[in-house]
Structure 1
Amino acid sequence: MPVKVSVVIPVYNPGPYVEDCIASLLRQSLPPDEYEVIFVDDGSTDATPARLDGLAADRPDLVQVVHQENSGWSGKPRNVGIAAAKGEFVMFVDNDDYLGDEALERMYDYGVANGADVVVGKMAGKGRGVPVELFRHNHPHATVENAPLIDSLTPHKMIRRDFLDRIGLRFPEGRRRLEDHVFIAEAYLRAENVSVLSDYVCYYHVKRDDASNAGFQRFDPAGYFKNLREALDVVDRYTEPGPVRDRLHRRWLRVEIVERMRGRRLLAMPAEYRKELFDEMRGVVVERFGPGVAAGLQPTQQVVAALIAADRYADVEAFAEWEAAVVPKAAPESLTWHDGALRIAFTAEYRSGRTPLLLPAAGVRAPLEGPPQDVSEAVAWVGVDTVARFGEARVDLLLRERSSAAQYFQPVEFTREKVAEGESVRLVLRATATVDPATAAGDAPLAGGVWDAYVRVRLGGWTKECRLGPVSRGPGPTPYAGVVGGRVLLPYWTEPHANLSLDVDRATKRLGLGDLPPEGVSVSGGRLRATLPLYVAGDTDVLLRLDAGAAATGAVDVPGTVSAAGSGARLEAALPADGMKGATWRVAISPSVAEPRFLPLPFTLRTGVGGVRVVRKQPPSVLRRLRREFGRAVRKAAARIRDRKA
């Protein structure tokens, strides 16, 4: 078979972090005779060269290793990999990252179907940032004008080999920064088509535990911004002056300059280093960015850009201190099941410190003409502009899988509300998100695991995320688990922060069944009946597992049904006529599926002369209270004994 994809991995001293990369490459769903893996060892001094040579000896049909003297950076090893590649497409992977199991197959098929020269696969960031808006939905025919492609300039793309050769595109070599920006920017601007695949996580971008990834190391400001100018040169070479060029330049002004000079990110840097950065940045801002570039930034970003251009470092620091206190807050209001989906109602707004962010109720919106007189004027201008543009504000809910960091947007309906506070207003977004377990992962079912709920708020000059929670007042919504489509989904509040998470098919102790009333379980006529705080969309087949532990030989599984009953569900199952004698039986429930997942119920069945009776377990909250009360009683008794002896 012709090789469809050549995977090129530059390697330099990754240590154990290369193992996840290797494992993901060996797990690919693409048949092994349709792709190849090319490791280019850039003079590693650890045990990696021997590890890779052993892998190539074991899998000569799939893996080849090229060894070379250290070149200082990733550009040359990637170019060496391109030269060795036989595939129709070349996929670039870093040695401390890894791929989704179906990444190569999905990206290749999507690229061929859409005639793409460049395929951008959805990314998940494990400890590091990745683009979010770019992957809101699929873009089969994306350009720098109709999609935020420019937000993704890392090299982790699949690129058609004859496109690379036709335009002579290769990575800049040598020890330098932003070589991937130069390469990817030109690829975007010269490709006949770029396709963005967003319904499957293809690439996992990993921050090492020791933060030793090249991108996390402090850089030399002079060299860095020299390399940044080279990326801008690429844009200038392939675009005409005007709105498109300004929009592309804006990406570097926003991400590489302004965002480094904002809020907590700036304040976390050593004072001398951030001043050195500021001085180098100012030269780029003055030399390379015309007035149309900064004018398209968000209000807070415009303020920072203007202060940088005016060489007002002290005001940049003061503005950062004000911005550092501005954070989003999202409070859940209700959790309900409806038509097989979980509906989550919540509010979101920005806060300043511990109080809601108050903005001017009245004011005249005007463009920012030059830098503000001082920080107070800057804050006032941002406030007026934010209120005036409240109609553009939006809120999203994302589910992020805790172990992999894969995340997906959920459908959200929201309204905008101005809440008067004297002469000021609060800007509040009221939203309802719908989580359908069958489609919540990019039109696919949610995989088993823990999914954390994040709220993304875009308002004025800020786009920030926060966890959903805790509830703002009272005991808050109490979620039920749901059995939907053969999956068990449990919404729950994390400890100790009380944020919302969803447990899919993994819950063992937190099904919320501790609320089961004593009268809710009965055995009569050989049948077990129970009213459970569960949601089911209709009659659902289940399995009950009866387990007497060491008192019996193995567990007994019996079929049952769960049906909707008021706000909960009604369980009914026939107990086995024989085999339940003289023992206490633990009870667990599972959807009736090919691979059952049994979840314990808070009662046991005890058999004896009078038949089968129900023994209800105390919920953990009651047990904790009883332990506390017992402990207090013991301490009081001990104190009385000490007093008598005294």
Structure 2
Amino acid sequence: MAAPAVSVIVAAYNAMPYLTRCITSVAEQTIGSDELEIIVVDDGSTDGTAKELERLAGMHPGLINIFKQANSGGPSAPRNVGLDHARGTFVFFLDADDYLGPETLERMVAMAEKNGTDIVLGKMVGVGGRGLPTSMFKRNQPKTDVFSSRVYWALNPLKLFRRELLERHALRFPTSLPIGEDQSFVALAYLHSSGISVIADYDCLFCTLREDGGNTTVRHSGSEPRLRFLPHVIDILLENVPPGPGRDHLAHRHLTIEVQEILGHLAAEPRPQQEKALAQLADTVAPLWHKGMNNQLSAMARLRLHLVRHQMLDEALELTRFEKELAGRKFSTPVLVDEGRALARYPFLRDPARAIPDSCYDVTAQLGVRHRVTRAELHSTTLYLAGHGYLHRVATEDVTTELVLRERDRKEEFRLPVTHTATPGLGADEDQGHYVYEKAGFEAALDITTAADGSPLGDGLWDISLAIGAQGITREVRIGSKRTVDVSGKAATHVVDTNEGPRAATLYTTNPHGNFTLDLGENKHAVLPHLSLNDTVQWASDTPTELEFTGRCTLAAHPEGTLTATLRNDRGDNATFPASTTGDALVVRIPVAELSAGTWHGELRLGNWVLPLPELPNNLMAAKWRRRALPWYAKPALNSTNGFALQVAKTDLIGAVTRRITS
């Protein structure tokens, strides 16, 4: 019997009524029953789970394998039993109260096979208020690892694993832990894997918060079970990941999520247990936390860890109460601005009795930057910008905001002053109006001929930022992603007149971030694609001696009179005729009666940009006129291989008469 592609392992304990939806969602997967086996381990259920499993097995003959055992007290043992009996190339661990999207397994297997990865994470969706990690699902990731992504923040086992990986490293769930058993299993699998894939564009897994409180982490409250599993997973990091940025990246998860969670459970415990647990927590995290990590941690996490390290129990409990209160607030914590730093007003800030360092409160690097562009348009050589920008929670006093131009490749940089403008009432729509920013506005006029410290800006992609400053604090932000509806982000290519000659300048917004960049010199936006001429050439209906060309000009602007048809003949004569534009329509008329005799060639010119004029059709009738009483004509030149060619000549009267007589 051929092995299936996927073995879905379900540990079931008193799983009704959720079990029916769970198993059905697996049985109906688009990958097909031939590629699937379902292994359900009934861990001593007493609620009818066993009977429902028999019914479901009857509905899907040969698909569901049922194993029964006495209750083990947790999901580890039944998952291990399922893994021991699995035959699939891949295994997927599914909790009995959760369910899959219809295409989940098909998509996951395809992702793993295409990219040669051992683990696939699928986007998870919370049901009934279930909270789930989301930071790793911002985009699809065909192949990544724990060090260059956020997948380590998802340590639950609800994933697709290549079974050979698990067997090669003899990975099983520890049965001595009531909760957190999945963290050590998944952490080791991550670290040993050849690669990890992430599916973020499809809802793969729906995780339910049970109404009866039957979720494992809900049933096992208190600090003690969490302090049992945390040392296990920290030991895994210490043993398998050398000191450095990689270990710090993974440690960040435990130093924030687990430490906060354990402190939260301390509040309801007796004082002796609180003291014991805090001391144990301090010892457990000590090998992971060092000062070099502080820049990666939030101020709240730094403060929390400081209190843990120094076993400041009362302060840690007070901070936990403060965090719960903070979660219910609709405005952000105020800050103290001092000597160019912003310190969050968390408990015990600059309390001399506690002597907690300011670094535990420093949120300068985490200050939110708010901006909006209300004007962004190029007129001739000047770019006009306006809008507002401010630092969240920092009053707009001693404002020092300036415009920053930075060439993307050369990193050449110029800073330009802005005019600060009043913005009364700004900020009233957030934080319940606790903070207002009365002078956050800016206006700037950037002339490309003088913006480089009085000299012209060189060719390049000039990214536009604001260095937003107030009260000695400065944060830089690219601008454009937030703009009013009347400010276009569409690329607009201009040809502008400068002392050095015509230049191409395009204001556009980047993809996908939508920030403004000024392209000088056609780095990404060429001029010629904006000019086109139709192949159809004809004599103007109202003036039969004017040759008419039509086409399109989609440039946002160009200097008046610079778009011309430029002609030259074989005798060295030159002639220039202006093009006219109305909207995107372009028209050029060449009054051939003004041309001297000869064979004329030409092109459409805009400064140094040249577009050949289209070839004249051979069947174009000759235009005729009289000059000084003598007949002249213009017609397509014969035997020309140079595109547009127009023969202008005086009619040979004697030859014409002779040809008429002989004919």
Sort the TM-score into its range (normalised by shorter chain). 0.5 to 0.7
Task: Please name the residue that 1:12 is paired with.
Answer: 13
Give the distance between the partners of 1:392 and 1:386, measured in 2 at CA: 12
Give the distance between the partners of 2:48 and 2:366, measured in 1 at CA: 56
Task: Please name the residue that 2:301 is paired with.
Answer: 301
**Does residue 351 of the first structure (1) align with residue 353 of the second (2)?**
no
Which one-letter code corresponds to 2:316 in the other structure? V
In structure 2, runs of 5+ residues without a counterpart are: 373-386, 400-424, 431-663
**Does residue 186 of the first structure (1) align with residue 188 of the second (2)?**
yes
Distance 1:169 1:26, change over 3 A: same
**Does residue 47 of the first structure (1) align with residue 48 of the second (2)?**
yes
Distance 1:2 1:383, change over 3 A: closer
Task: Please name the residue that 1:172 is paired with.
Answer: 174
Give the distance between the partners of 1:109 and 1:14, measured in 2 at CA: 30
TM-score (normalised: structure 2): 0.52
Task: Please name the residue that 2:281 is paired with.
Answer: 281
Question: 1:511-548, CA deviations, whole angstroms, 9 ceiling, x for partnerless residues?
Answer: xxxxxxxxxxxxxxxxxxxxxxxxxxxxxxxxxxxxxx
Question: 1:82-125, CA deviations, whole angstroms, 9 ceiling, x for partnerless residues?
Answer: 12112110000011111111111111111111111011111112
Which one-letter code corresponds to 1:80 in the other structure? V
Give the distance between the partners of 1:183 and 1:360, measured in 2 at CA: 44
The secondary structure found in structure 1 opposite 2:155 is coil
**Does residue 385 of the first structure (1) align with residue 365 of the second (2)?**
no
Give the distance between the partners of 1:267 and 1:415, measured in 2 at CA: 42
Within the candidate set 193, 203, 206, 2:205 is matched to 203
Give the distance between the partners of 1:26 and 1:222, measured in 2 at CA: 39
User: Offset at 1:322?
Assistant: 3.8
Distance 1:131 1:376, change over 3 A: farther
**Does residue 374 of the first structure (1) align with residue 351 of the second (2)?**
yes
Task: Please name the residue that 2:33 is paired with.
Answer: 32
Task: Please name the residue that 2:87 is paired with.
Answer: 86
Name which one, 1 or 2, has greater alpha-carbon Rg.
2
Question: 1:582-633, CA deviations, whole angstroms, 9 ceiling, x for partnerless residues?
Answer: xxxxxxxxxxxxxxxxxxxxxxxxxxxxxxxxxxxxxxxxxxxxxxxxxxxx
Task: Please name the residue that 2:613 is paired with.
Answer: none
Question: 1:330-364, CA deviations, whole angstroms, 9 ceiling, x for partnerless residues?
Answer: xxxxxxxxxxxxxxxxxxxx615xxxx53234434
Task: Please name the residue that 2:530 is paired with.
Answer: none
Question: 1:232-271, CA deviations, whole angstroms, 9 ceiling, x for partnerless residues?
Answer: 121222211222112212211211113443xxx5697467
Distance 1:415 1:326, change over 3 A: farther
Which one-letter code corresponds to 2:297 in the other structure? L
Distance 1:318 1:376, change over 3 A: farther
Give the distance between the partners of 2:244 and 2:75, measured in 1 at CA: 33
Distance 1:72 1:424, change over 3 A: farther
User: Offset at 1:143?
Assistant: 0.9
| Conservation of the 8 A alpha-carbon contact between 2:146 and 2:191 | yes
Task: Please name the residue that 2:112 is paired with.
Answer: 111
Q: Relative contact order (C-alpha < 8 Å, sep 6+): which is higher?
A: 1
| Conservation of the 8 A alpha-carbon contact between 2:177 and 2:225 | no
Distance 1:259 1:227, change over 3 A: closer
Which one-letter code corresponds to 2:193 in the other structure? A
The secondary structure found in structure 2 opposite 1:154 is coil
Question: 1:373-421, CA deviations, whole angstroms, 9 ceiling, x for partnerless residues?
Answer: 63998999489732454267899xxxxxxxxxxxxxxxxx996545765
Give the distance between the partners of 1:423 and 1:326, measured in 2 at CA: 27
Matches within 5 A, 1:66-465: 66-126=67-127, 127-219=129-221, 221-261=223-263, 269=268, 277-286=277-286, 289-293=289-293, 296-326=296-326, 351=331, 357-365=333-341, 374=351, 381=358, 385-390=362-367, 417-418=391-392, 421=395
Distance 1:122 1:47, change over 3 A: same
**Count of aligned positions:** 386
Give the distance between the partners of 2:429 and 2:343, measured in 1 at CA: 29
User: Offset at 1:129?
Assistant: 1.6
| Conservation of the 8 A alpha-carbon contact between 1:21 and 1:97 | yes
Give the distance between the partners of 1:128 and 1:165, measured in 2 at CA: 32
| Conservation of the 8 A alpha-carbon contact between 1:359 and 1:387 | no
Distance 1:71 1:351, change over 3 A: same
User: Offset at 1:151?
Assistant: 0.4
User: Offset at 1:318?
Assistant: 2.7
Question: 1:473-522, CA deviations, whole angstroms, 9 ceiling, x for partnerless residues?
Answer: xxxxxxxxxxxxxxxxxxxxxxxxxxxxxxxxxxxxxxxxxxxxxxxxxx
Which one-letter code corresponds to 2:116 in the other structure? G
| Conservation of the 8 A alpha-carbon contact between 1:76 and 1:174 | no
The secondary structure found in structure 1 opposite 2:214 is coil
Give the distance between the partners of 1:17 and 1:5, measured in 2 at CA: 22
| Conservation of the 8 A alpha-carbon contact between 2:222 and 2:266 | no
The structure richer in helix per residue is 1
Give the distance between the partners of 1:419 and 1:286, measured in 2 at CA: 33
Give the distance between the partners of 1:293 and 1:422, measured in 2 at CA: 31
Give the distance between the partners of 2:155 and 2:371, measured in 1 at CA: 26
TM-score (normalised: structure 1): 0.54
Give the distance between the partners of 1:240 and 1:201, measured in 2 at CA: 35
Task: Please name the residue that 1:528 is paired with.
Answer: none
The secondary structure found in structure 2 opposite 1:15 is coil
Give the distance between the partners of 1:26 and 1:375, measured in 2 at CA: 64
| Conservation of the 8 A alpha-carbon contact between 1:143 and 1:188 | yes
The secondary structure found in structure 2 opposite 1:93 is strand
User: Offset at 1:293?
Assistant: 4.7
Aligned-pair identity (%): 32
Matches within 5 A, 1:580-619: none
